[in-house]
Each structure stands twice: as structure tokens, then as C-alpha cells.
Amino acid sequence: MTTATRFAAVQMCSTADVASNNRAIEGFVREAAGLGATVVSLPEAANILLKDNIQYAGICVAEDDDTTLALCRRLAAELRIWLHDGSLLIRTEDGTRIWNRTHVISPTGEIVARYDKLHTFDVKLGEGHDFRESRAVQPGEGPPVVVDLGASNVRLGLSICYDVRFAALFRVLASAGANVLMIPASFSPVTGPAHWETLLRARAIETGSYVVAAAQCGTRDGVQTHGHAMIVSPFGEVISSLGEEPGVIVADIDPAEVEETRRRLPGLTQGRDLRPTMTVFAGSLS
């Protein structure tokens, strides 16, 4: 017998001011816990967002010195919650770039898992929206990560933002037992309206999993983010969402619903091994 676990997804507008961001995080986490959430997720880059990403290596600090991580550990222990910090931007060990890193923190304040963003947002959207995240962010090289929360039967599959476009990652996570896909983001205002909800619902539908997608919103230093944090059911329905303002959403997540959805739509177990692609040259019309 499984019981539902209340999740919260936070939407915030992080800036270059880490202290201000920390105050916002503390307020939102306390609000979420007050709403009964025992698992709380922050968005990508919760600790700091800069206009020019090449500045991160000179401003971000090592993990042991990051005040946001220390705050999250303290809040998790005080409130007795699981705290998924979305991602924090952490200086790499050689100081040349940063990690875009998720931490999962237990109700005792212990860091039980880390995940470094695998796919960096290197795109050519045009009209001033080209972006090369890899200038600042060292791509992760570790394996996909699933975090088993124990008696609740909740198992988190970790990812960050641009990872959402790489469906194979989520199939691997779900096949390894993940039933809640965590997709914290700071999504582009160009791709957000066209792709954000579609991608989140697709990842839920393809794997029969819940999706919890905390998000950055608003404009800082002329840089805009999409917002629209949401929680999606294993059947692909949006069960809770926000618009473009900071806030908190909650939803009760039941692992039994994942089991039932996967029983009805067993796509995870029905995939077939594909043979090498055959290309047929059919000639020209002339």
C-alpha cells in the first residue's frame, strides 16, 4: 500500500544578489512546508542568475562555501523535509568554469545525491537570443541519478532544464525506477511559449511518470525567463501550474498512480531493439 506525498515546486526570480535570493528561498520553502509539502523543489540557478554567463566563474564559490546550499541544508533539517535545490551554480574545482548542480537534501540536512547538468544550452535562436552555456558551465560526466526516498516509495529522477529535450535520459531514469522526474529550469522566453509545456507533458507521457518542474520567472538586468512552473501527472495532465509571477504550487503525488498508468500504457517495457537504419535512394523526379 502506498500513500501520497505532497510535493511543492517553487517559482522565483533569482538575481545577481545571492543574499536577496536566499531570503526569497527561505520564504518560499517555509511557505511550501506550511502547505504540507514534504518534498520541496527550487528552480534552476536558485542561488544566482547573471546577465553575462562568462562572469560566473569569477563570482560563484566552491560548494563548501555556498551560502544557499548551507541555507537549504538548515531548512531541510529544521522543517524535516526533503529539499531538492533545483540547481545551484558552483565554481568548479579548477576555478575555470562552474557546475550547474542539483543537490537532494534529506530531512536531517544531509546531502544524499548530486547531479551535474549533462546537456548545456548551446543554441542559435537568432534575434539576440543565441546562447552558449558551455562558455561558463562544465557539462556533467556522471551517470543518470535516481534517488530513492525510502518508505514513501518515491524515487526521483534528476535532470536540469535543457536536459528535458533529450528523451533518452528520462527513459533511462524511469527504467531504473524513477517515478517522479525533477526538471527545474530557467527556460528561454523564445522557446518557453512554444516548447515548455509540450516537453514536460511528453516526458510524463513517454515514461508514465510525474513531472515536477520548478522554474525561474520575470526579468532581471534585461534577461527574461519564461516561468510557468508546473506539476504533471503520469497521464500527461497538468495538475498544478503558475503563470509568470513568483510563487509556490503543491500537488499530492501517489506512486500507485504511476504503477497503474504504466500498467495501462506499458511503453517502457514494449520498446524493441532497432536494427541499423536502412536508407533507400529513390532517384529524382526529373
- 117 tagged catalytic: yes
Q: pLDDT averaged over the chain?
A: 95
* Beta bridge partner(s), residue 180: 156, 210
pLDDT at res. 131: 75
d(CA 260, CA 255): 9
Q: Which of 13, 60, 117, 133 is catalytic?
A: 117
What does the pLDDT average to over 213-233? 95
Rounded to a whole number of angstroms, the CA Rg of the chain reads 19
Q: What percent of the chain has pLDDT over 90?
A: 89
- 8 A C-beta contact, residue 87 and residue 45: yes
Q: Give residue-wise pLDDT tens across range 166-195.
A: 999 999 999 999 999 999 999 999 999 999
Residue 125 — very low, low, confident or very high, per pLDDT cuts 50/70/90? Answer: confident
Element (H, E) at 239: strand 238-241
88 φ/ψ sector (left φ>0, alpha ψ -120 to 50, else beta): beta
Domain boundaries, the chain: 5-270
Residue with more model confidence, 129 or 102 = 102
pLDDT at 1 over 60: no
5-270 CATH choice from 3.60.110.10, 1.10.760.10, 3.40.50.1950, 3.20.20.70: 3.60.110.10
pLDDT at 129 over 80: no
- 44 tagged catalytic: yes
Q: Which of 44, 60, 72, 133 is catalytic?
A: 44
* Cβ-defined contacts of 223-227 (< 8 Å, 24+): 223/49, 223/51, 224/189, 225/13, 225/49, 225/186, 225/187, 225/188, 225/189, 225/192, 226/185, 226/187, 226/188, 226/189, 226/191, 226/192, 226/193, 226/196, 227/11, 227/192
Q: Which of 13, 60, 72, 161 is catalytic?
A: 161
Count of positions (residues) in the chain: 286
Q: Give residue-wise pLDDT tens across range 4-59.
A: 999 999 999 999 999 999 999 999 999 999 999 999 999 999 999 998 889 999 99
- 161 tagged catalytic: yes
Residue 122 — very low, low, confident or very high, per pLDDT cuts 50/70/90? Answer: confident
